[in-house]
Chains A and B, each alone.
Chain A
Amino acid sequence: MSGDGNAANQGPAHRNIELVFAGLMGLFAIAVVVGALQAGIGWGFEGPKAGFFPFIMGVGLIGATAVNLWHGFQGSKSKVFAEWDQLKQVGAVTLPIVVYIALIPYLGIYVASVLLIAYFMMKISDYGPVRTVIIAIAVPFLTFLVFERWFLVALPKGPLEAMLGY
């Protein structure tokens, strides 16, 4: 972690991310408390009502988050969360994963996986088209055999599998 130099240019400040994240945690905690109140936190004929335990957890989380926010405010301003280049790398993986998951309901998990592997091999590792095509098709195909044929576990399938009779 390099915390020297002009932090703003290298990446987002660690302190800001930490505070935003703790804030989100606080919102989650409030949602839990609200949900617990809806379920009832008192004493019913069955003993403590369904919301009793989550209510305690939610209140505890609000408390812990408050302390973390307080510590967060005191944190150093110059420390960088991650450099912009590093975050770009993370984004370069996250985005394809989002697209991959979005495609699963339409193409099925196997065809989507072919595209995912091909994308990674060409974009991130600079493989040529021949090796890319071979590996990108072989791995999901083997997975298909293992899951659908040997273990009889059905995974989401799309139009291609339907065309082939599965």
Chain B
Amino acid sequence: MSEFVNLFNGFATVLAFQDVNIFGTTLYLPFNVFIMIVGIVLGVIIGVLPGLGGANGVAILLPLTFSMQPTSAIILLSCIYWGALFGGAITSILFNIPGEPWSVATTFDGYPMAQQGRAGEALTAAFTSSFIGAFFAVVMITLLAPLVAAFALRFGAAEKFAVYFLAFASFVGLSKEPPFKTLAAMLIGFALATFGTDHMTGSLRLTFGSELLIPGFDFLIAVIGLFGIGEILLTMEEGLKFKGKEAKINLRIVLETWKKLPQYWWTYLRSCIIGCWMGITPAGATPASFMSYGIAKRVSKNGKNFGNGEIEGVIAPETAAHAAGKAALLPMLALGVPGSPTAAVLLGGLLIWNLQPGPMLFIENKEFVWGLIASMYLGNVVGLIIVLTCVPMLAAILRIPFGIIAPIILMFCAVGAYTVRNSFFDVIMMLAFGILGYVLKKTNYPLAPLVLAMVLGDRAEEAFRQALVGSGGSMGVFFSNPLVSSIMALGFIALFWSVISAGISRIRGVPATAA
């Protein structure tokens, strides 16, 4: 039960009043709650705007938090993430434009509902589902994260590497992109992470005699370029015209929709479980939302009506996306392996604030961990209230023409890229990554494994080399005890999952279906 004591202390951290100096006047207010509201509002705006997603929104703002308390900083950044998760649904339903990749599945039934004049109902269902999915995932984190962390304390270098191997193998095996493209994207990420100083020996490598390459490539620059600039180029190519439906949302609509929702309890439970599973394995929110939608369509008695404005078609993907988005923090906190690109950026933040993610975090930085978890409970409630009350205002943001939005986003990308290390070279690299991101997206290479590999490259390499040092160079160390062997075995199963599942379907005589 010590988790509940810890959680209670976490709430105390978040709700604590302190003296805050704002614009020269000192106010006595619960600073972390204030930060939370700011974060969620910013996040929703980021989620609504095309070209600014959770991952690069957090990456751009990360440098601004260097001077903050780590607990306040993580609350701000994680709330931006939750806000972005909420925001994606607004554009999907009203404009048929997914603000975030994970809300693509929400457009399938959300937009038809808006066309039928049921926008308010669709939005209420989406927000409530997000809330429930997120709540389920946070409860799971509260209960499971300390256990996972305690278990992971037994991990040596070999086990650590095996966990990384499992994480990346499941990317290759489970992603909807071709496996060799996923593999290539991932290896590019790992290779980019090795440029510059070797952290284990301090020696230089892959600099090719250039001073510019000595600091190496920072993954934040890659995130800002790949997701920010790349997305703007894609948006320009598609020539988006925003033609939105009116959003009428009032207390009566909200209450009427809420009355309808309990009958879908099974859809909720199923979507929550799918979401948590996909969030913990680093598949992330996007595949979770698609999978949940697909299963709901197959299982529901209204399955045939999916795509024509079925409320269940909004509930299923939104619940799963949020459950996955939050669940992605469990492996990040407990194992140091982020479950999504945005969680990867948050992990980068922890490293910058000198906090080592992983099992020791739960022992050495209790206040930080439980403050974050408590803020997830509170942030979820605050988020639901904000989005339910502010929809018309947020929809108005989208009516601002792209000709104004695009250069402002570009400016923030450049500012964000510069502030990471005060380096102009990074701004140039941001553009290079942007063009790379555009071509990668167009040629069907996934971006998430590249970013995750860049973030985890150093740590994975360190675990790999330390394990080999311990064993005197024998690869047998990765199969030297039941624990590490079973993690590695799981990794190989995940790696070859598409082959295995195709084989199973063939034995059953059913043609394999593409995910």
Query: Which residue numbers of A lie inside 8 Å of B, CB to CB?
Result: 14, 17-18, 21, 25, 28-29, 31-32, 35-36, 38-39, 43, 46-54, 57-58, 60-61, 64-65, 67-68, 71, 81-82, 86-87, 89-90, 92-94, 97-98, 100-101, 104-105, 109, 113, 116-117, 119-121, 123-127, 135, 139-140, 143, 147, 150-156
A32–B183 CA distance with the chains assembled, in angstroms: 16
Give every chain A residue within 8 A of B67 (Cβ-Cβ).
151-152
Q: Known contacts A65-B184, A93-B233, A139-B408: does B465 contact A39 (CB below 8 Å)? A: no
Give every chain B residue within 8 A of A50 (Cβ-Cβ).
198, 200-201, 203, 205
Q: Known contacts A39-B198, A124-B406: does B419 contact A61 (CB below 8 Å)? A: no
Q: Known contacts A35-B208, A48-B469: does B464 contact A87 (CB below 8 Å)? A: no
Whether B415 sits at the interface, judged by CB under 8 Å, is: yes
Give every chain B residue within 8 A of A57 (Cβ-Cβ).
187, 190-191, 194
Q: Known contacts A28-B191, A61-B187, A155-B418: does B407 contact A116 (CB below 8 Å)? A: yes
Q: Do residues B187 and A60 form an inter-chain contact, with CB atoms below 8 A?
A: yes
Give every chain B residue within 8 A of A155 (Cβ-Cβ).
415, 418-419
Nearest-Cβ distance from residue A89 to partner chain B, whole angstroms: 5
Nearest-Cβ distance from residue B224 to partner chain A, whole angstroms: 13
Instruction: From A49, A53, A101, A109, give the contact of B464 (CB < 8 A).
Output: A53
26 residue pairs A–B, Cβ–Cβ below 8 Å: A36-B205, A39-B198, A49-B201, A51-B205, A57-B194, A64-B180, A64-B187, A67-B180, A86-B237, A86-B239, A90-B236, A90-B438, A93-B233, A93-B406, A94-B435, A101-B427, A104-B414, A105-B424, A116-B407, A117-B404, A125-B401, A135-B404, A140-B411, A143-B411, A153-B64, A155-B419
Give every chain B residue within 8 A of A31 (Cβ-Cβ).
208
Nearest-Cβ distance from residue B24 to partner chain A, whole angstroms: 10
Whether B410 sits at the interface, judged by CB under 8 Å, is: yes
A89–B237 CA distance with the chains assembled, in angstroms: 6
* Contact pattern, B 56-80, Cβ under 8 Å of A = 1, otherwise 0: 0000000110010000000000000
A153–B187 CA distance with the chains assembled, in angstroms: 34
A101–B415 CA distance with the chains assembled, in angstroms: 11
Closest B residue to A50 using CB positions: B198
A105–B418 CA distance with the chains assembled, in angstroms: 12
Give every chain A residue within 8 A of B406 (Cβ-Cβ).
93, 120, 124
Q: Do residues B427 and A104 form an inter-chain contact, with CB atoms below 8 A?
A: yes
Q: Do residues B465 and A53 form an inter-chain contact, with CB atoms below 8 A?
A: yes
Whether B443 sits at the interface, judged by CB under 8 Å, is: yes
Given A35-B207, A105-B424, A113-B411, 10 more contacts at CB 8 Å?
Answer: A17-B443, A50-B200, A51-B205, A61-B184, A64-B184, A68-B178, A68-B181, A109-B415, A117-B407, A120-B404
Q: Do residues B465 and A32 form an inter-chain contact, with CB atoms below 8 A?
A: no
Give every chain B residue within 8 A of A58 (Cβ-Cβ).
187, 191
Give every chain A residue within 8 A of B200 (Cβ-Cβ).
46, 50
Nearest-Cβ distance from residue A20 to partner chain B, whole angstroms: 9
Nearest-Cβ distance from residue B164 to partner chain A, whole angstroms: 12
A146–B4 CA distance with the chains assembled, in angstroms: 39
**Which of A14, A28, A53, A98 has the most C-beta atoms of chain B within 10 angstroms of its own C-beta?**
A53
Whether B35 sits at the interface, judged by CB under 8 Å, is: no
Q: Chain A: interface secondary structure?
A: helix
Nearest-Cβ distance from residue A86 to partner chain B, whole angstroms: 4
Nearest-Cβ distance from residue B205 to partner chain A, whole angstroms: 4
Within 8 A of A (CB), among B157-207: 178, 180-181, 183-184, 187-188, 190-191, 194, 198, 200-201, 203-207
Closest A residue to B473 using CB positions: A43
Give every chain B residue within 8 A of A97 (Cβ-Cβ).
229, 410, 431, 434
Give every chain B residue within 8 A of A54 (Cβ-Cβ).
191, 194, 205-206
Within 8 A of A (CB), among B63-100: 63-64, 67
A21–B178 CA distance with the chains assembled, in angstroms: 16
A127–B424 CA distance with the chains assembled, in angstroms: 31
Within 8 A of A (CB), among B430-468: 431, 434-435, 438-439, 442-443, 461, 464-466, 468
Q: Known contacts A124-B402, A135-B404: does B205 contact A35 (CB below 8 Å)? A: yes
Q: Do residues B191 and A29 form an inter-chain contact, with CB atoms below 8 A?
A: yes
A151–B424 CA distance with the chains assembled, in angstroms: 20
Whether B48 sits at the interface, judged by CB under 8 Å, is: no
Instruction: From B194, B434, B439, give the contact of A21 (CB < 8 A).
Output: B439
Q: Do residues A120 and B407 form an inter-chain contact, with CB atoms below 8 A?
A: yes
Nearest-Cβ distance from residue B202 to partner chain A, whole angstroms: 9
Closest B residue to A35 using CB positions: B206
Give every chain A residue within 8 A of B205 (Cβ-Cβ).
35-36, 38-39, 50-51, 54
Nearest-Cβ distance from residue A17 to partner chain B, whole angstroms: 7
A18–B412 CA distance with the chains assembled, in angstroms: 31
Give every chain B residue within 8 A of A90 (Cβ-Cβ).
233, 236-237, 438
Closest B residue to A86 using CB positions: B237
Whether B428 sits at the interface, judged by CB under 8 Å, is: yes
What are the nearest 6 A-B pairs in CB distance?
A: A125-B403, A35-B206, A47-B469, A39-B205, A50-B198, A54-B194
A86–B64 CA distance with the chains assembled, in angstroms: 36
Q: Do residues B443 and A89 form an inter-chain contact, with CB atoms below 8 A?
A: no
Instruction: From B206, B407, B414, B415, give the contact of A32 (CB < 8 A).
Output: B206
Whether B232 sits at the interface, judged by CB under 8 Å, is: yes
Nearest-Cβ distance from residue A31 to partner chain B, whole angstroms: 8
Give every chain B residue within 8 A of A117 (Cβ-Cβ).
404, 407-408, 411
Nearest-Cβ distance from residue B87 to partner chain A, whole angstroms: 21
Q: Do residues A60 and B183 form an inter-chain contact, with CB atoms below 8 A?
A: yes
Q: Do residues B178 and A71 form an inter-chain contact, with CB atoms below 8 A?
A: yes
**Which of A57, A126, A152 has the most C-beta atoms of chain B within 10 angstroms of its own C-beta?**
A57
Q: Do residues B461 and A53 form an inter-chain contact, with CB atoms below 8 A?
A: yes
* Contact pattern, B 217-241, Cβ under 8 Å of A = 1, otherwise 0: 0000000000001001100111100
Q: Do residues B194 and A53 form an inter-chain contact, with CB atoms below 8 A?
A: yes
Give every chain A residue within 8 A of B208 (Cβ-Cβ).
31, 35
**Which of B191, B229, B422 has the most C-beta atoms of chain A within 10 angstroms of its own C-beta?**
B191
